[in-house]
């Protein structure tokens, strides 16, 4: 199985050349679960139930390799945010390399 990476940026407009963190991606787990496995802290308060919105992230590259937003995400994130690449990491699965901004 090929090893894919996700890269995390602390600043939304940081150069993609200088990521804050980069980890191997477990594609069978949500991005939030991947964060937990690597000690990355988010504002998650509902334990991954798509209720609090605290786990939101922005996909900077690789959006096409991620699952489509589910209806629960469309309740928390408005259409504009979804178009800009915002997602709930607790509902997000990425199949290949992605670059993520965590607010
Ligand atoms: S952890 Fe609460 S919405 Fe994702």
The CATH code that applies to domain 4-101 is 3.10.20.30
- The residue to mutate among 50, 72, 73, 86, having the most atoms of ligand 1 within 8 angstroms of its beta carbon, is 50
Which protein residue's CA is at the shortest distance from atom 1 of ligand 1?
Answer: 48
Task: Show pLDDT as tens, one digit a residue, over the chain (103 residues).
Answer: 456 666 776 555 554 555 567 778 888 999 999 889 888 888 899 999 999 999 999 998 899 999 999 999 999 999 999 999 999 999 999 988 888 888 8
Query: How is the chain split into domains, by residue range?
Result: 4-101
The neighbouring-strand residues paired with 63 are none
CA of 34 to the centre of ligand 1 (A): 14
């Amino acid at each position: 199985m090929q090893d894919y990476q996700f890269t995390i940026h602390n600043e939304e407009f940081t150069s993609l050349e200088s990521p804050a963190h980069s980890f191997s991606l477990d594609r069978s787990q949500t991005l939030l679960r991947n964060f937990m496995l690597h000690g990355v802290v988010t504002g998650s308060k509902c334990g991954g139930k798509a209720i609090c919105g605290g786990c939101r992230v922005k996909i900077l590259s690789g959006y096409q390799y991620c699952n489509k937003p589910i209806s629960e995400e469309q309740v928390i994130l408005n259409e504009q945010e979804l178009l800009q690449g915002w997602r709930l990491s607790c509902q997000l699965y990425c199949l290949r390399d992605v670059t993520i901004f965590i607010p």
